[in-house]
Each structure stands twice: as structure tokens, then as C-alpha cells.
């Protein structure tokens, strides 16, 4: 994430990944304030065994786009809600990537879905994780089917 101030939202991703038993790195790295670290961290990600990068940032939210330019790992962007523009600034900064450097952008504040998408990507080569996803979907459906009003 681009700042500690993003953690309230990004902790949702942490929670989902923990629930699925997926190992993760949790870092504050800013594309603007710490560009050298941004380069070093992202360039080394694949060799460290990282499978997917989830990047949460707000405002002029270049974190995900810069990461995507530095690696061929899938990058998922989480736009943060902002005071000035409600998060539309973050969303548009993240979603309009140039052809050739894709970023998968979730909803404003959608950290949990970002984590679920990451789990789905990792599950392509992990049958155990795939089973957990099926179970999760089943439980979700049951909650709706059993809901009373
Ligand atoms: C972005 O600027 C961060 O991702 C954060 O959402 C926003 C504000 O950062 P702080 O000023 O709170 O550190 O880079």
C-alpha cells in the first residue's frame, strides 16, 4: 500500500488472505515518495516467490501501474476513497492503463475482492486452494438462501 493511511482498507485483504491460508508480504511503499524502494521491491518479487501483487493507493494512485510496468506478475489495484474526490481520482488513476501493461482494478475500497481475485489466480495451480474457494462460494450462497426477512 502507498501509505499507512491505506491500512484500514487494506487490512480487508490481509483478513481474506489469512482466512485462505495464503502467505503474503505486507509493505508500505510509495511510487512517489520511495521510488527506489518501489523499483527494488517489485523487481525482486518474482524471485521471492510472490505470485500476485495487490496494490492499494489513493489520489494520484500510480502504485499499481508502476508495479505493473516493473513486473509480469499479475497486479491488482485497490483504489482508496479520498476526501477531495471520493476515490474517483484513485480509480481513474489506476484503471486507465496503457495497452501492454495491464492492471486489474477492483472497486473503490475493494480490498477484500482484490484478495479473493488473487486467491483465484493462485488457485489455478493449487487444487487445495481451489477447493477452499468452492467451499467459500457455497457458504456464501447458503447465507443468501437461508436469509430471513
Ligand atoms: C497515496 O496518497 C497513498 O496511497 C494514500 O492513499 C494517499 C495519502 O497518503 P498519506 O498522505 O496519508 O500518507 O500515495
CA–centroid distance, residue 4 to ligand 1 (Å): 8
CA–centroid distance, residue 46 to ligand 1 (Å): 26
Percent of the chain with pLDDT over 90: 100
Hey, what's the cell of 139?
A: 457458504
Percent of the chain with pLDDT over 70: 100
Q: Which atom belonging to ligand 1 lies closest to the Cα atom of 1?
A: 4
CA–centroid distance, residue 56 to ligand 1 (Å): 10
Average pLDDT for 16-26: 98
Mean of the per-residue pLDDT values of the chain: 98
CA nearest neighbour of 13 among 57, 62, 43: 57
Among protein residues, the one whose CA lies closest to atom 14 of ligand 1? 2
Q: What was the pLDDT predicted at 131?
A: 98
What is the value of pTM for the model shown? 0.97
- Model confidence at 69, pLDDT cuts 50, 70, 90, reads very high
- Model confidence at 9, pLDDT cuts 50, 70, 90, reads very high
Average pLDDT for 46-62: 98
**Residue-wise pLDDT tens digits, 98-142:** 999 999 999 999 999 999 999 999 999 999 999 999 999 999 999
- Model confidence at 83, pLDDT cuts 50, 70, 90, reads very high
Ligand 1 proximity of 34 Cβ (cutoff 6 Å): no
Amino acid at each position: 500500500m502507498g501509505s499507512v493511511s491505506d491500512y484500514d482498507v487494506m487490512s480487508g485483504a490481509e483478513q481474506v488472505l489469512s482466512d485462505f491460508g495464503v502467505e503474503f508480504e505486507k509493505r508500505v511503499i510509495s511510487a512517489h515518495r520511495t521510488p527506489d524502494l518501489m523499483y527494488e521491491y517489485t523487481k525482486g518479487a518474482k524471485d521471492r516467490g510472490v505470485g500476485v501483487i495487490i496494490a492499494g493507493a489513493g489520489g494520484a494512485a500510480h502504485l499499481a501501474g508502476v508495479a505493473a510496468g516493473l513486473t509480469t506478475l499479475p497486479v491488482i489495484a485497490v483504489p482508496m476513497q479520498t476526501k477531495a474526490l471520493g476515490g474517483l481520482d484513485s480509480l481513474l488513476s489506476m484503471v486507465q492503463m496503457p495497452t501492454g501493461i495491464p492492471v486489474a482494478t477492483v472497486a473503490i475500497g475493494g480490498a477484500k475482492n482484490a484478495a479473493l481475485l488473487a486467491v483465484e489466480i493462485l488457485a489455478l495451480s493449487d487444487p487445495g486452494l481451489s477447493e477452499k474457494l468452492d467451499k467459500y462460494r457455497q457458504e456464501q450462497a447458503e447465507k443468501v438462501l437461508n436469509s430471513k426477512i
